[in-house]
């Protein structure tokens, strides 16, 4: 019985060894058969690493980047080092991702069998709905890969920008989303002709604002003072959180034409003055007058508290309006004043500096010439506020280098000598005897009356011949 058990054990071990040998030999023949097949069809095991681009994606919600997935196949003989990643568009020009714009940073080594996703920062917002080639370059010991990928259709469109001449501190911009996914409007800017860009900070509705795909357009009311940019080109840009933008150039309306056609100070009443305002062009612009100011010579500017019609006042296009400005200018007689009309449609409109009526209004109303003398009638207006002292009369011949005579022999019709005090709303006749009146027959002369207070009055006439 013992001999039988030993023989049985040896036979089992031999069988196991025979099975192992058969398996190894079978595997070897199988490998040789398969490799022989691949050799017969031209397949060669790569001697250098060769990578493959598994995927390239351009996310619709972020047009500032894209992802590219790279595989180093298990059959690769060694690791692969990625040196560059680039993109190309239809013009076949390569745009390389610069240093720091690829994550993880390049160069990057991928082991055989590894899969790696690279995030590349590149603005493709101007290439939506296009086919873009993505290229991955390796070191010299290996070959790179290329894949073509389609970017999503994303587009915002500024359909209108409105600058209203009546409201130069704001404008409206209308935007619609034509893309396949939602976008968030985050910023609206204005760029002037000289390249200066300003961000609009006050926008209604508030930013950010979501625009649904193929949804209704939205009109944003933007607070921006373009008073100094009338009749000039401004470019409005709308930007989104996703990186898409659109530009809309627009020429603003020309300046409004508000003119002060007349300013009247009535010497009879120093508690007010009158203004006539006209809105000429453009025909579409109303002008909203807010206040009227007066600056007396170098003094502080004063705001006119009372105006009729009341302010603010909207002056329609191509119309005029008379305004009564209640301002006591009694202490500002014979002063230079500058009147300015302030309005919402632009800078203040000013009237040329004018001099208010003086305290005394003096006139030479008549000059009558006799044989050896002439009579001059001098009147102080009823609007004069103080008496004046007439001190002299001067006769000047109105020809080039004509003689001038300060007449010394002057008396009033009441035989009073100079100086003579003339009260307001009074007249006086002065009898003047020049040196040789007959010598001036037929000449045009100017008679001027002077006062101690500095007021003068003149009359130009022709001395009749006998």
Helical (H) or strand (E) element with 116: strand 115-121
141: tokens are 């010991």
Question: Model's pTM, two decimal places?
Answer: 0.65
Q: 92 and 170 share a domain?
A: no
Q: Where are the beta strands (DSSP E) in 178-310?
A: 183-191, 197-199, 202-204, 209-211, 218-223, 233-240, 245-251, 258-264, 272-279, 287-296, 301-303, 306-308
**pLDDT higher than threshold 90 for residue 244:** yes
For residues 326-343, give the mean pLDDT: 92
Q: Which residue has the higher pLDDT, 42 or 218?
A: 218
pLDDT band at 241 (very low <50, low <70, confident <90, very high): very high
CATH label of the domain that carries residue 217: 2.60.40.10
Among residues 324, 355, 386, the one where a domain terminates is 355
Whether 391 is in a domain gets the answer yes
Q: 292 and 369 share a domain?
A: no
The total of structural domains in the chain comes to: 4
Q: 366 and 456 share a domain?
A: yes
**pLDDT higher than threshold 80 for residue 56:** yes
Q: What is the pLDDT of residue 37?
A: 44
For residues 247-262, give the mean pLDDT: 92
Q: 236 and 201 share a domain?
A: yes
Poorest-confidence range of 76-80, 125-129, 438-442? Answer: 76-80
Q: 91 and 125 share a domain?
A: yes
* 449 neighbors 430 (Cβ within 8 angstroms): yes
**pLDDT higher than threshold 50 for residue 356:** yes
pLDDT band at 4 (very low <50, low <70, confident <90, very high): very low
Q: 107 and 66 share a domain?
A: yes
Q: 412 and 373 share a domain?
A: yes
For residues 439-460, give the mean pLDDT: 93
Q: 436 and 408 share a domain?
A: yes
Q: Which residue has the higher pLDDT, 32 or 216?
A: 216
Q: 224 and 274 share a domain?
A: no
Q: 291 and 344 share a domain?
A: yes
Whether 228 is in a domain gets the answer yes
**pLDDT higher than threshold 60 for residue 46:** no
Q: 118 and 60 share a domain?
A: yes
Query: How many Å apart are CA 210 and CA 220, to the nearest integer?
Result: 12
Query: How many Å apart are CA 404 and CA 394, to the nearest integer?
Result: 7
pLDDT tens, residue by residue, 201-213? 999 999 999 999 9
Dihedral angle over CA of 35, 37, 38, 40, nearest 10: 120
For residues 94-112, give the mean pLDDT: 88
Which residues are registered as beta bridge partners of 106? none
pLDDT band at 11 (very low <50, low <70, confident <90, very high): low
pLDDT tens, residue by residue, 267-326? 878 899 999 999 986 667 889 999 999 999 988 899 999 999 999 999 998 899 999 999
Q: What is the pLDDT of residue 399?
A: 84
Poorest-confidence range of 12-16, 265-269, 405-409, 447-451? Answer: 12-16
Whether 35 is in a domain gets the answer no
Whether 40 is in a domain gets the answer no
In percent, the amount of the chain with pLDDT more than 70 equals: 88
Whether 26 is in a domain gets the answer no
Among residues 251, 273, 288, the one where a domain terminates is 251
In percent, the amount of the chain with pLDDT more than 90 equals: 66
Q: What is the pLDDT of residue 35?
A: 47
Among residues 340, 355, 370, the one where a domain terminates is 355
Query: How many Å apart are CA 126 and CA 132, to the nearest integer?
Result: 12
Q: Which residue has the higher pLDDT, 29 or 464?
A: 464
Mean pLDDT (the chain) is: 88
Q: What is the pLDDT of residue 144?
A: 81
Poorest-confidence range of 42-51, 171-180, 304-313? Answer: 42-51
Whether 350 is in a domain gets the answer yes
Whether 98 is in a domain gets the answer yes
Poorest-confidence range of 129-138, 236-245, 395-404? Answer: 395-404
Domain that holds residue 417: 362-462
Q: What is the pLDDT of residue 41?
A: 44
Q: Which residue has the higher pLDDT, 249 or 142?
A: 249
DSSP readout, 304-341? --EEESPSSEEE-TTEEEEEEEE---GGGTT-EEEEEE
For residues 212-241, give the mean pLDDT: 94
Which residues are registered as beta bridge partners of 291? 342
For residues 213-219, give the mean pLDDT: 91
Neighbours of 183 (CB within 10 A): 28
**pLDDT higher than threshold 90 for residue 27:** no
**pLDDT higher than threshold 60 for residue 185:** yes
Q: What is the pLDDT of residue 405?
A: 92
Between the alpha carbon of residue 416 and those of residues 365, 377, 410, the distances in Å are 20, 14, 9
For residues 140-169, give the mean pLDDT: 89
pLDDT band at 26 (very low <50, low <70, confident <90, very high): low
Poorest-confidence range of 33-37, 45-49, 372-376? Answer: 33-37
Helix boundaries (H) for 113-259: none
Whether 163 is in a domain gets the answer yes
Q: 366 and 454 share a domain?
A: yes
């Amino acid at each position: 019985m013992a001999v039988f058990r030993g023989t049985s054990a040896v036979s089992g071990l031999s069988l196991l060894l025979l099975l192992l040998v058969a398996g190894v030999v079978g595997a070897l023949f199988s490998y040789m058969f398969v490799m022989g097949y691949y050799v017969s069809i031209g397949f060669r095991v790569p001697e250098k690493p060769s990578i493959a681009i598994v995927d390239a994606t351009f996310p619709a919600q972020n047009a500032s980047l894209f992802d590219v997935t790279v595989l180093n196949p298990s059959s690769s003989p060694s690791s692969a080092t990625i040196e560059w990643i680039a993109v190309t568009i239809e013009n076949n020009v390569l745009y390389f991702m610069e240093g720091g714009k690829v994550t993880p940073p390049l160069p990057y080594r991928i082991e055989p069998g590894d899969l790696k996703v690279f995030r590349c920062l590149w603005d493709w917002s101007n290439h939506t709905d296009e086919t873009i080639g993505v290229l991955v370059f390796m070191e010299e010991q290996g070959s790179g890969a290329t894949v073509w990928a389609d970017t999503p259709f994303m587009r915002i469109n500024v359909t209108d920008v409105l600058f209203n001449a009546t409201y130069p501190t704001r404008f409206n911009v209308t935007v619609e989303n034509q893309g396949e996914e939602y976008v968030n409007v985050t910023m609206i800017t204005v760029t002037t002709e000289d390249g200066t860009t300003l961000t609009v900070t006050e926008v209604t509705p508030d930013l950010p604002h979501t625009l649904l795909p193929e949804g209704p357009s939205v009109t944003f009311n933007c607070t921006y003072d373009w008073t100094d940019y009338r009749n000039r080109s401004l470019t409005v840009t709308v930007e989104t959180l996703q990186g898409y933008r659109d530009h809309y150039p627009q020429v603003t309306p020309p300046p409004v034409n508000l003119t002060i056609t007349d300013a009247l100070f009535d010497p009879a009443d120093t508690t007010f003055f009158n203004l006539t305002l006209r809105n000429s062009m453009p025909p579409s612009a109303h002008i909203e007058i807010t206040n009227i100011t007066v600056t007396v010579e170098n003094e502080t500017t004063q705001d006119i508290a009372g105006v009729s019609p009341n302010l603010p006042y909207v002056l329609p296009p191509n119309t005029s309006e008379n305004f009564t400005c209640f301002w006591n200018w009694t202490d500002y007689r014979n002063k230079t004043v500058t009147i300015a009309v302030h309005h919402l449609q632009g800078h203040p409109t000013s009237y040329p500096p004018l001099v208010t009526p003086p305290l005394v209004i003096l006139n030479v109303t008549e000059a009558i010439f006799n044989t050896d003398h002439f009579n001059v009638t001098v009147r102080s207006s009823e609007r004069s506020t103080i008496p004046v002292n007439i001190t002299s009369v001067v006769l000047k011949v109105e020809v080039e280098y004509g003689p001038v005579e300060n007449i010394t022999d002057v008396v009033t019709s009441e035989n009073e000598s100079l100086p003579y005090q003339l009260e307001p709303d009074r007249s006086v006749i002065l009898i003047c005897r020049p040196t040789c009146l007959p010598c001036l027959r037929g000449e045009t002369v100017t008679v001027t009356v002077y006062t101690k207070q500095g007021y003068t009055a003149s009359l130009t006439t022709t001395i009749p011949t006998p």
